Amino acid sequence: MESFFVIILPLAIGYAFSKGKIFDDKAPIILNQFLIYIALPALVLLKIPTIKIDSNVLTPIVISWVVMLSSAVLIIILSKVMNFVRDVTGSLLLVAVLGNTSFLGIPMITSYLGQASLPYIVIYDQIGTFLALATYGTLIVSLYTNANGFSIRDMVKKVITFPPFIALVFAFLVGDFKYPSAIIKTFEMLSATIVPLALVSVGLQLQLKLPSGTLKPFSVALITKLVFAPLVAIVVCKIFGFSGFATDVSILESAMGPMITAGVVASMAGLAPRLSAAIVGYGILFSFVSVYLINMFFVS
């Protein structure tokens, strides 16, 4: 219960500050920039060198991509069956497929599994979710809007210029290199800011107004993201015989609520902006319950 309040209180503070107009409208952008350009790279550089390179490293990569692709296929099928309009389908293919595996995943999973889960969270997020946002997300926007088409060049540029991904590549290259103690303490100090700032940032961006007449796509999105996705992860683990700590982390990551950035991308592309925002907002809140239940019944 204590872990729950540690997560929910900063989130509630961010939401209350948003409603009370305490911070400038640009506050979430500034917080996100600090996290992406400073705190997350520090975390990656600190934790990735501590991970033992073995078959367990593949677990979060395999699970993340199988879960996302399976969810996308389900969304396409249900959208056709239920005759969703094109922009709604495009929205769901973003917010019901891409999870909040860093800003929400880090505080939630570490509260359940401890700091040792961080390297696997980073791998799931960077090689799974982030790469999907840059590649799959770009493709979806191109297909479901009047954009100028899918650009491999732009996609590659997004990947190779993303600070946490650069840090990830560097961390793998240096291997088990021992940083000077001053550098380690600096990384520890900066990475310690991720949990409170990420949760406050998420709270500042929560939108809980559900547009009328959108209950069906709203329900499809949340069931896909919060129920179907983790069940796929669990089945994949059974089929491939995955077990252990990396598997537990990956299952919980698959159950995270929708990615805020995916909702922003959907809104900027004109893909059902209000529906996208509502799915992200309610999805994050409902994920506290779904992740708790999955951790209770399916995580060793």
**In the chain, what are the domains?**
2-298 (1.20.1530)
Q: What is the pLDDT of residues 70-116, one digit of tens each?
A: 999 999 999 999 999 999 999 999 999 999 999 999 999 999 999 99
Q: What is the pLDDT of residues 192-208, one digit of tens each?
A: 999 999 999 999 999 88
- Dihedral pair phi/psi, residue 262, rounded to 5°: -65, -40
CA distance 202 to 190: 19
Mean pLDDT by 10 residues, the chain (300 residues): 77 94 91 96 92 87 98 98 96 97 94 94 96 93 77 84 94 84 96 94 92 94 98 95 95 97 92 95 95 92
Q: What pLDDT is stored for residue 155 in this prediction?
A: 82
CA distance 34 to 51: 25
CA distance 272 to 266: 7
**Do residues 218 and 210 lie in contact, with contact meaning Cβ atoms separated by under 8 Å?**
yes
